[in-house]
Amino acid sequence: MEQQRRGIGLTGFASLPAADPAPLSGEHLEGLERIRGLVAGKRLALLTGAGLSTDSGIPDYRGPDSVPRSPMTYQEFVRDSANRQRYWARNHIGWSHLRRADPNPGHLAAAELERRGLLTGLITQNVDRLHEDAGSRNVIDLHGRYDQVVCLDCGRTYSRRLVAGMLEELNPGFLEQATGSGLVEMAPDADAIVEDAALIGSFVVAVCPACGGKLKPDFVYFGENVPKDRVEASYATVDAAGALLVAGSSLTVMSGLRFVRHAAKDGKPVVIINRGETRGDQHATIKLHAGVSEALTWLAAELPDL
């Protein structure tokens, strides 16, 4: 793990503390024991969403404590240079914050399930790369990764760290000024909202070093399709499993819901663990309203070896 990934806090930015783990209640333990009985002896496909990373201090879009917001769509980003300026300014701040997040016990539990051979693979809707930081190896980053940038014109990819350096050279002192303006919201895609519109309006956007084209964070925006190879790999992961476990996803978007429908159609048990309702609840064999990190930690410790 990189040396600088040590806690979510960043001096001068508004605090985004990780949630304190909630103890498992008797009802939760009863539900987890039912889940253990249902999936014992089966390899699992694990699908995770933003609800897993909230315990690392990264807000989600639709959780019970999330702030309603409208993420920028792919179409808005591509067609308007002012939108790209606003997005990159906010993303530059968000990146400086998000890259300091550490995996939480739920990420470590997922890695342990994989190490013990209990997973056919891990499909994540998150772009934060915390599963990889926790030690998971067979990960499908369904929506892409926040630590990589792609040129929409020539297709070259760059590390987000390199682009961050370019943005710092083009905008000296920007992060310090943004700190003074006040960070008012963070999001799972490394977006941020700053009250100082004039500061955002002065931001200089970096272009592709190779062709001068438009750069975009290498994750799937709203209004953009998930690459076909990731979808096919995810279906294969579910097909190879005896059950599907969903952890921390509201399943609001079809990119994740389709795998729940697919597993249910094939008659495979579907287990959903989430703080709140999900769009896939009607397909769940067992639905547990519980803390995701705590539940995964319990399952990693209690599921028997195959």
Residue at 221: amino acid letter? Y
| 219 DSSP 8-state letter | E
In b/e form, how buried is each residue of 28-55, taking b as 16+ CB within 10 angstroms? beebbeebeeebeebbbbbbbbbbbbbb
In b/e form, how buried is each residue of 193-210, taking b as 16+ CB within 10 angstroms? bbeeeebbeebebbebee
Residues 108, 135 contacting (CB under 8 angstroms): yes
Tokens of 94: 């968000």
Lay out the sheet containing 215-219: strands in order across.
157-159, 144-151, 215-219
Among 222, 285, 292, which residue's Cα sits nearest to residue 254? 222
In angstroms, rounded to a whole number, what is the distance separating the alpha carbons of residues 153 and 84?
15
In angstroms, rounded to a whole number, what is the distance separating the alpha carbons of residues 238 and 252?
19
Active-site pick, 97, 131, 143, 283: 143
Active site annotation includes 97 = no
**Annotated active-site positions, please?**
143
